[in-house]
Structures are given as C-alpha cells and as structure tokens.
C-alpha cells in the first residue's frame, strides 16, 4: 500500500495527546475506521485544530507507516463543520450515539455504512425539528441493522414460532427478538400495525422520500426505543452516550 493516502473522512472522536497533539478516530471513505495522530492539532494556531473536532467532514491526506501500522494526518481540507449539530444538544447527542456505535462495531462491517452515516449527519444537521431528527435516527438504524445482517424478524414469534401478520402488533422481548401478543409480558414494547407498516414502506425509500411519510408520535417513540435497545444488545456492553445523553436521545 502507498504511504500517502487521500480519502474523505469524518472525525468521530478526538483526544489530546502529549503537549499539543491530537489522537483522532475517524471514519474514512476508503479505509473504514482509522486512528491517526495529528501533530500540533491542539495548538491554538494549528490549521487542523477545527477540522480535527468531532463530526467534521474533510478531504484528508494521511500518511501510513505499513511497518508499524501507524497513521498520521498530514492535511485536512474541511468541507462541513456541521454547525447545526454542534449548536443543538439533541442533535449532538444523537450523532454522538451513532458515532459511538460505529466505533464499537468497527465501522459496521459494510462499506455502504460510510455513505449512509455521512448522509444521515448531513440531514440531521439541516433538520428543522426534533421529530425529523428522531425519524432520521430510526431510518438510519433500520438500514444499519440490515447492512450488519441483524435486522430483527418482525414476521414470526421468537417464542412460539407463530407467524405474525402485518395487521397484528409485535412485541420487543429483548436480545434483538420479537414475540406475538400471546407470548408477551406487560413490560415488552409494542410495535403496532402503523409502526410495522412504516418500517416496511420506507425500507426501500431514500431519506428524502421517507421523511414526509406519516408516523404517529407513540409509534415513533416505540420504534426508536426498540432499535436503540437492539443496537445496545448488538454492541454487548453499555454505550456511554446512552448514559450521558439519555434525556436527549430517548
């Protein structure tokens, strides 16, 4: 592999390293997740200071040492700082949650996840109300679970095996599994007919097509909780952003 690489990338996490350097975790278009050192990027006059902040989208030049498998950022050309995400706590915590999931699942195991992730951030940044932010979250998670091959089965009961028809509600029992009305406990979250229909109808749509599709507030809230719990079960240990941003994400 060539030592100098160019790729579009988005910063997921950034921490101070030594005197005035930064260790940056990035989602890159060409190489998936990369952790790279940005020399001097903590310095107040560094041209890389802003572009190494979380959720900045840039065209980057990276240097890779194949012997030590170390990455260094040599130049970033910032394309979008996503001020709409930075200036809104709900957007910020939801994007932080999505970033943490990408980090904990090693980039999501599918090259299409990068495009899906950057597209989602672009639309969350521009979203004009909380409802659209929540819709984008569930549209993203549904596609993310599908790309990971762990989309839950909404057509059969995981306990008794009975087929569940579209018009019947389904209940989330934990561990990424659903069951029928006859097998549920009272604490299980319900996805009703409207919620299921919304998921099926929007699954092949673009975000722009899916956003105006009607979904009532309770169904939206239940889908969101279910999907977050499914993702949490997938990652297998507590996601920090669900703790710190609980009141903004749920």
Q: Which residues bind Zn ion (CB under 5 A)?
A: 157, 159-160, 162, 179-180, 183
The CA-atom distances, in angstroms, between 173 and each of 18, 40, 134, 185, 186 are 46, 49, 22, 8, 10
Instruction: Tell the smallest beta-carbon distance from residue 227 to Zn ion (Å).
Output: 21
Residue among 130 and 153 whose Cβ is closer to Zn ion: 153
Residue among 89 and 160 whose Cβ is closer to Zn ion: 160
Judge whether 2 and 110 are in contact, CB under 8 Å: no
Residue among 23 and 183 whose Cβ is closer to Zn ion: 183
Nearest alpha carbon to residue 85 among 60, 31, 121: 121
Instruction: Tell the smallest beta-carbon distance from residue 166 to Zn ion (Å).
Output: 16
Instruction: Tell the smallest beta-carbon distance from residue 220 to Zn ion (Å).
Output: 25
Residue among 15 and 153 whose Cβ is closer to Zn ion: 153
Q: What is the dihedral of CA 35, 37, 42, 45, to 10 degrees?
A: -120
Residue among 40 and 156 whose Cβ is closer to Zn ion: 156
Residue among 160 and 213 whose Cβ is closer to Zn ion: 160
DSSP 163: B
CA dist., res. 38 & res. 87, Å (int): 25
Instruction: Tell the smallest beta-carbon distance from residue 184 to Zn ion (Å).
Output: 8
CA dist., res. 119 & res. 111, Å (int): 14
Nearest alpha carbon to residue 165 among 156, 176, 153: 156
- Within 10 A of 109 (CB to CB), how many other CB atoms are there? 12
Instruction: Tell the smallest beta-carbon distance from residue 163 to Zn ion (Å).
Output: 10
CA dist., res. 93 & res. 79, Å (int): 22
Instruction: Tell the smallest beta-carbon distance from residue 170 to Zn ion (Å).
Output: 10
């Amino acid at each position: 592999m060539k030592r100098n690489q160019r790729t579009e990338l988005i910063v997921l996490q950034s921490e101070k390293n030594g005197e005035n350097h930064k260790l940056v975790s990035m989602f890159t278009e060409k190489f998936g997740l990369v952790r790279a050192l940005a020399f001097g990027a903590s310095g107040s006059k560094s041209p890389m200071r802003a572009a190494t902040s979380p959720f900045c989208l840039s065209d980057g030049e990276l240097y890779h040492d194949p012997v030590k498998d170390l990455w260094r950022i040599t130049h970033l050309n910032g394309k979008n700082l996503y001020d709409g995400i930075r200036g809104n706590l709900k957007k910020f915590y939801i994007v932080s949650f999505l970033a943490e999931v990408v980090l904990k699942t090693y980039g999501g195991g599918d090259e299409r996840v990068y495009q899906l992730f950057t597209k989602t951030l672009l639309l969350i940044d521009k979203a004009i109300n909380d409802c659209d932010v929540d819709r984008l979250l569930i549209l993203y998670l549904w596609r993310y679970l599908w790309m990971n091959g762990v989309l839950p089965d909404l057509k059969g009961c995981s306990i008794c095996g009975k087929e569940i028809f579209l018009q019947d509600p389904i209940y989330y029992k934990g561990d990424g599994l659903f069951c029928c009305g006859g097998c549920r406990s009272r604490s299980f979250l319900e996805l009703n007919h409207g919620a299921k229909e919304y998921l099926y109808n929007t699954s092949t749509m673009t975000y722009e097509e899916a956003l105006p599709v009607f979904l009532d507030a309770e169904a939206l809230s239940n889908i969101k909780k279910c999907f977050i719990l499914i993702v949490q079960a997938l990652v297998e240990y507590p996601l920090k952003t669900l703790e710190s941003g609980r009141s903004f994400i749920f």
